Amino acid sequence: MQEDRPVKADELIAQASSLPVEERAFIADSILRTLNPPESDIDRKWAQVAKRRLAELQTGEVHAVPGTEVFARIWERFTP
């Protein structure tokens, strides 16, 4: 008969690592939610912002700047 004992973190990680990627993602998301529980009002507001920004990009109202250009500008601005 197996003795009841708490599962050690490294054992749990090893078990989870052997699961399919979708299940690992579900587990990771579930654990992260315990550290930083979602706030539906804030999530809803962020979703509205994201939808607005996507619409601005799609209509051409704003133009995306490549990340490499953004970082080049930052380095130029903050490098003595």
Domain boundaries, the chain: 1-37, 39-80
Q: In the prediction, which pLDDT does 37 show?
A: 84
Confidence (pLDDT) at 38: 78
pLDDT band at residue 7 under the 50/70/90 scheme: confident
> For residue 47, what pLDDT band results from cuts at 50, 70 and 90?
very high
CB 19 within 8 A of CB 27: yes
Question: Does residue 73 surpass a pLDDT of 60?
Answer: yes
Q: Mean pLDDT across the chain, nearest whole number?
A: 92
